[in-house]
Chains A and B, each alone.
Chain A
Amino acid sequence: EAGVAQSPRYKIIEKRQSVAFWCNPISGHATLYWYQQILGQGPKLLIQFQNNGVVDDSQLPKDRFSAERLKGVDSTLKIQPAKLEDSAVYLCASSFNTGGETQYFGPGTRLLVL
């Protein structure tokens, strides 16, 4: 069974530029998560989708971050404009459903903002 796919794996941009990350979850998984993991910390949930609807985006900085999952399958996360403090690993995870189901993580996209 294929795991969660993410691209790109690495991205270097200058502050105030825009960047987008892509995630393809495990087939059949209804729930998709985007996490931000800053160096030395645990993952912080940015947004959670159930199919193509948003379940929780309370920690998403909506002035610069946006995410969509239009067809309820793959998802994109965008940052516009990027700040230095956005440097982090962006992890995508999926689960069959919500409510504590096992989350399967992708390898992450490592973003460096200069």
Chain B
Amino acid sequence: TQLLEQSPQFLSIQEGENLTVYCNSSSVFSSLQWYRQEPGEGPVLLVTVVTGGEVKKLKRLTFQFGDARKDSSLHITAAQPGDTGLYLCAGLMNRDDKIIFGKGTRLHILP
């Protein structure tokens, strides 16, 4: 059973466009993290959201945690080729501190 569903799996858009990727679950998480992974490298943490309804901004990236702490979204404004990569969401299960990763959204920004 995949606890964290990410959508879309793949996304290819032109430079300058906006996009949103989603991370959904039927489980409640104490916190949720977003990572970016580039080819040949390990994932790098972008943000951690903790409070239901929380919104965090990182330059052109906006992260939102759902009110019920079951889902999250990542919105990128004016995408650039440097945003290309695999975006992974990971939820922390409160009961045992285990982190569960989704399968990721592979994003490709065309120049």
Contact = CB atoms under 8 A, between A and B. Distances in A.
Contacts, number: 48
Interface in B2-48: 4, 6, 30-31, 40-45, 48
Interface residues of A, number: 21
Interface in A28-51: 35, 40-45
Contact of A42 (B31, B42, B45, B102): B102
B92 interface: yes
Contact of B42 (A56, A99, A102, A108): A108
A107 B42 contact: yes
A2 to B, nearest CB: 14
B42 A100 contact: no
Interface string A70-108: 000000000000000000000101000011101111111
B99 to A, nearest CB: 7
A9 to B, nearest CB: 8
A4 interface: yes
B102 A56 contact: no
Interface of B: 4, 6, 30-31, 40-45, 48, 88, 90, 92, 96-99, 101-104
19 contacts: A35-B101, A41-B104, A42-B90, A42-B102, A42-B104, A44-B101, A45-B98, A56-B96, A91-B42, A100-B30, A100-B31, A100-B97, A100-B99, A102-B45, A102-B48, A103-B99, A104-B45, A106-B42, A108-B40
